[in-house]
């Protein structure tokens, strides 16, 4: 995996449960290593552009993880860290924000029942808290998923737009 493909925690080389102080320390260390000014005379223009891009990504990671509200929103878009907390068969099904968005979409489009909406919302809430749904909940959550997909819900559409914007 290249550094461009990493999430912000990987980029700063900190754990997801890192404290704000640990994030700030990691940011300062990364910027010491990747500060573009440090490399201006020693590298080609192509490599300098890559260093600038990495420094920009490090700054972006610090801005996102340094603000508690932005960090909370960012964390909600990440899949669970462990495969043990990934109860659903498809990777996209283990992303909390997709379930939350699906629940709202089902309500707006009047798709499925109220319990389908609730199970979708609860799946997102549990995953966001890094909790495992119970064995009894999983079939109902997957049923809600199937109903939404069959009705035209696109689990990737809005997440792609958010990442592009």
Using CA atoms, how far apart are residues 104 and 135, in angstroms rounded to an integer?
24
The pLDDT value recorded for residue 94 is: 85
pLDDT digits (tens, 9 = 90+) for 32-75: 888 877 766 667 778 888 888 888 999 999 999 999 999 888 88
The pLDDT value recorded for residue 61 is: 93
pLDDT digits (tens, 9 = 90+) for 77-131: 776 665 556 778 888 888 888 999 999 999 999 999 999 999 999 998 888 877 7
Whether 164 has a pLDDT exceeding 60, the answer reads: no
Question: Which token pair is 100?
Answer: 């939350």
CATH architecture of 3-76: Orthogonal Bundle (1.10)
165 confidence band (pLDDT: 50, 70, 90)? very low
Q: Write down the pTM of the prediction.
A: 0.49
Q: Which residue has the higher pLDDT, 81 or 31?
A: 31
Whether 7 has a pLDDT exceeding 50, the answer reads: yes
Q: Name the helix (H) or strand (E) containing 5.
A: none
- Interior CA angle at 52 toward 49 and 58, to 5°? 145
Cα dist. 139→48, 113, 134, 143, 150 in Å? 52, 15, 10, 6, 16
Q: Which are the contacts of 158, defined by CB distance < 8 A and separation ≥ 6?
A: 101
CATH 1.10.287.110 domain position(s) in the chain: 3-76
């Amino acid at each position: 995996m290249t550094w461009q493909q990493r999430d912000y925690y990987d980029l700063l080389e900190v754990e997801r449960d890192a404290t704000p102080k640990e994030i700030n320390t990691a940011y300062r260390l990364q910027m010491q290593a990747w500060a573009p000014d440090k490399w201006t005379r020693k590298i080609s223009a192509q490599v300098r552009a890559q260093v600038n891009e990495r420094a920009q990504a490090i700054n972006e990671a610090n801005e996102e993880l340094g603000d508690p509200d932005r960090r909370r929103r960012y964390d909600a878009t990440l899949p669970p860290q462990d495969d043990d907390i990934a109860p659903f068969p498809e990777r996209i099904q283990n992303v909390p924000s997709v379930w939350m968005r699906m629940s709202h979409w089902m309500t707006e489009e009047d798709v499925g029942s109220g319990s389908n909406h609730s199970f979708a919302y609860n799946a997102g809430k549990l995953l966001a808290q890094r909790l495992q749904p119970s064995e009894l909940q999983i079939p109902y959550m997957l049923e809600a998923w199937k109903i939404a997909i069959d009705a035209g819900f696109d689990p990737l559409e809005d997440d792609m737009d958010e990442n592009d914007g």
